[in-house]
Amino acid sequence: MKAKAIRMTRTGGPEVLEYVDVEVGEPGPGEARVRQHAIGLNFIDVYFRTGLYPMPLPSGLGQEGAGVVEAVGEGVTHVAPGDRVVYAGRPNGAYSALRTMPADILVRLPDAIGFETAAAMMLQGLTVQYLFNGTCQVKPGQTILFHAAAGGVGLIACQWARALGVNLIGTVGSKEKAALATAAGAAHVINYNEEDIVARVLEITDGAKLPVVYDSVGKDTFIHSLDCLQPRGLMVSFGNSSGAVPPFSLGELAARGSLYITRPSLAAYTATRAELEARAADLFAMVESGKVRIDIRQRFPLAEAAAAHTALEARRTTGSTILLP
């Protein structure tokens, strides 16, 4: 059967995203066919579109969606036709009204969570879950730094930190974004276009600096992030929206007090079915409790995926963005 989808035959700007008809086949062993109701937009999609993260071409794009299972292939038992499901992860191909996909990343969606909320929260919410409960176990009373605090991941992180009793310092690029991060629960907000990040961290912490910094910006903030860490602090570099971090000497870590550094990925923290289910259950519970609210601030028709990418790269989006088939 045919479905509308976004496909790319080359890497480049938003203009390489083509809205076309694709053939969607029956699910094979270990696969499911999902009729999608909402699709998540994430910065990792830009990395694949531009070629920063290589992938075979031609290809679909997108790693997050929510919908209803229409059919399953041999060996699939954890979901069945009619189930409401959500997912986040490879392979690319979420930008489609209908897709046949590996079933192992599908998670059944609680009735209390709608499709749009689910598609907007899964990748970003699971990211915060593993960052705070896997990469580093944050503790009540700690003060941490989280860059891009008014983005989709950032606003979830602000709320999650507040729920855990953690003092989150968020960085943003405007007064409007500062207000969003503060409302979401950031204890302090630094506008990097008006303030020096390192100087403000020293002021906030009375010179003690921080045990951990979460940085999804990359090139523009990397050294500043290192300079905000106390001896033996942890640098968590989990994205590069400003560009890839250039090569640097490990001596930089020694000079700043034996720092640790990690470059985590969601795939590594949801590598087993049990781990995926546990992290998803924690995320669902936070959302159902109201401690974390998913703020969808932009909705684009799937046909306008290129415009959505343009807005995302220009930092004109806040909160979460979804595509609607």
Q: Cα angle at 4 between 34 and 67, to 5 degrees? A: 25
Contact between 286 and 263 under an 8 Å Cβ cutoff? The reply is no
The CB density around residue 268, as the number of other CB atoms within 10 Å, is 12
Q: What is the DSSP letter of 16?
A: G
Contact between 214 and 132 under an 8 Å Cβ cutoff? The reply is no
Question: In Å, how far from its chain's centre is CA 139?
Answer: 22
Residue 128 lies in a domain: no
Establish how many alpha carbons lie within 13 A of residue 282's alpha carbon, considering only the half-sphere containing its beta carbon.
19
Q: Is the model's pLDDT at 319 over the cut of 90? A: no
For residues 198 and 277, membership in a common domain is answered with: no
pLDDT cut 90: percent of the chain above it: 92
For residues 298 and 207, membership in a common domain is answered with: no
Residue-wise pLDDT for 120-176, tens only, equals 999 999 999 999 999 999 999 999 999 999 988 999 999 999 999 999 999 999 999
Residue 244 lies in a domain: yes
Question: Is the model more confident about 34 or about 52?
Answer: 34
* CATH number, domain with residue 312: 3.90.180.10
For residues 118 and 144, membership in a common domain is answered with: no
Q: Which of 317, 288, 290 is nearest to 152 (CA)?
A: 317
Alpha-carbon distance 98 to 203, whole Å? Answer: 52
For residues 198 and 117, membership in a common domain is answered with: no
The total of structural domains in the chain comes to 2
* CATH number, domain with residue 165: 3.40.50.720
Mean pLDDT of 315-324: 90
Residue-wise pLDDT for 194-213, tens only, equals 999 999 999 999 999 999 99
Residue 132 lies in a domain: no
